[in-house]
Amino acid sequence: MLVASGFKVITPKTAAQKQKLQNLPAGNVTMVKKGKKTYYVFPDPIHNQAYVGGPKEYRAYQQLRADKKLSREDLQDAEMYQDATMEWSLWEGGEGVWGPMGGPVPF
- Can you tell me the distance from the alpha carbon of 98 to that of 89, in angstroms, rounded to the nearest whole number? 9
Q: What is the pLDDT of residues 46-80, one digit of tens each?
A: 899 999 999 999 999 998 888 887 666 665 655 55
Choose among 101, 15, 4: nearest CA to 53. Answer: 4
Q: How confident is the model at residue 31 (pLDDT cuts 50, 70, 90)?
A: very high
Q: Evaluate whether residue 78 is within a structural domain.
A: yes
Is residue 107 in a domain? no
In a domain, 2, yes or no: no
Collect all residues with Cβ–Cβ distance below 8 Å to 93 and sequence separation of at least 6.
Answer: none
**If you count DSSP H runs as helices and E runs as strands, how many of each does the chain have, helices first?**
3, 4
Is residue 102 situated within a structural domain?
no
55 belongs to a structural domain: yes
pTM of the model: 0.62
Full residue range of the structural domain in which residue 78 is found: 8-84
Interstrand relation of 8-10 and 37-44 (parallel, antiparallel or unpaired): unpaired
Domain total of the chain: 1
Does residue 94 fall inside a structural domain? no
Extended beta strands in 1-107, E state: 8-10, 30-34, 37-44, 49-53
- Domain assignment present for 13: yes
What pLDDT is recorded for position 88? 47
Per-chain mean pLDDT for the chain: 77
Residue 103 pLDDT: 52
